[in-house]
């Protein structure tokens, strides 16, 4: 009598694991216990930087020696031809974790390429709750949370930056929509100077700095008020939100 045929192995989950937004952050403040339970059961991780990922996993209490975990590095130097090999363990039934360098994976983050491929390969994608600077900034801004647009990074060059700011201001007023964007921390002051130069005095501007850290600062004021006192937030991770009525 013919025995049962081998069934194809069920794929393992691809867990999207948020990480803290800053060094020294208390995991208990930003990381649900469920996340920690998942992390401690996963042995394969797709990460932006192995060094910071190892530090996070050790802090999360992973039971295995860090050197026994398997890492795939995903950053601007990673070729697209490598992506499928990163997901091969998941396709063969082994759960895999995707970590952002800071905050939520796939939001202003290269992990989106892996998730897109996972869907094509039939690998279940499981997002976990955790810190996202963009969402937290919107929540705390007092600006319109029903309609909003995230622009990522704005142009660096002065004329192009000014044009983009004016476009966002017009779009915000026309669509009743909050405009959200970020900048490399060392260019924070240049960004704020441009906003104060090109925005109308009554436009609302939220500057959300060091979100979820003990040094957190989130302020929303009209541009005219920001001109009276410019904060010192050089080199601090910051989210900007603009709303024109």
One domain, residues 99 and 161: no
pLDDT at 197 over 60: yes
| Residue 205 structure tokens | 């501007």
Which residue range is the domain that position 39 belongs to? 14-127
One domain, residues 108 and 157: no
One domain, residues 88 and 153: no
Measured CA distances, 5 to 8, 11, 56, 122 (Å): 9, 18, 42, 22
One domain, residues 99 and 171: no
One domain, residues 104 and 138: no
One domain, residues 79 and 156: no
Report d(CA 207, CA 220) in Å as an integer: 7
Read off the pLDDT of residues 134-171 as tens digits, 9 standing for 90 and up.
Answer: 999 999 999 999 999 999 999 998 899 999 999 999 99
Of 127, 145, 171, the residue that ends a domain is 127
Q: What's the average model confidence in pLDDT over 4-23?
A: 84
Read off the pLDDT of residues 31-80 as tens digits, 9 standing for 90 and up.
Answer: 899 999 999 999 999 999 999 999 999 999 999 999 999 999 998 888 88
Report d(CA 164, CA 154) in Å as an integer: 7
One domain, residues 105 and 210: no
One domain, residues 20 and 123: yes
One domain, residues 168 and 201: yes
What is the model's pTM? 0.88
Task: Let me know the angle formed at the C-alpha of 196 by 188 and 184, rounded to the nearest 5 degrees.
Answer: 15
Give 134's Cβ-side CA count (13 Å radius): 21
Q: What's the average model confidence in pLDDT over 118-146?
A: 96
| DSSP code, position 103 | B
Confidence band, pLDDT 50/70/90 cuts, at residue 26: confident
CATH at residue 100: 3.40.1010.10
Of 127, 143, 165, the residue that ends a domain is 127
């Amino acid at each position: 009598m013919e025995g049962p045929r081998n069934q194809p192995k069920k794929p393992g989950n691809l867990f999207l694991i948020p990480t803290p937004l800053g060094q020294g952050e208390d995991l208990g403040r930003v990381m649900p216990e469920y996340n920690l339970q998942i992390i401690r059961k996963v042995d394969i991780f797709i990460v932006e930087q192995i060094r910071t990922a190892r530090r996070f996993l050790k802090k999360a209490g992973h039971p295995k020696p860090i050197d026994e975990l398997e890492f795939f590095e995903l950053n601007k130097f990673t070729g697209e031809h490598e992506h499928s090999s990163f997901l091969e363990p998941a396709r063969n039934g082994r759960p895999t974790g995707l970590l952002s360098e800071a905050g939520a994976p796939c939001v202003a983050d290269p992990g989106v390429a892996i998730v897109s491929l996972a869907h094509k390969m039939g690998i279940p994608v499981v997002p976990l709750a955790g810190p996202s600077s963009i969402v937290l900034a919107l929540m705390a801004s007092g600006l319109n949370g029903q309609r909003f647009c995230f622009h990522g990074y704005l142009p660096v060059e002065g004329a192009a930056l000014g044009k983009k700011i004016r476009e966002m201001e017009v779009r915000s007023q026309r669509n009743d929509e909050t405009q959200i964007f970020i900048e490399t921390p060392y260019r924070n002051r240049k960004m704020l100077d441009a906003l104060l130069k090109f925005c109308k005095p009554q436009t609302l501007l939220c500057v959300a700095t060091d979100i979820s850290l003990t040094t957190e600062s989130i302020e929303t004021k009209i541009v005219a008020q920001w001109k009276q006192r410019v904060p010192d937030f050089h080199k601090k991770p910051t989210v900007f939100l603009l709303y024109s009525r």
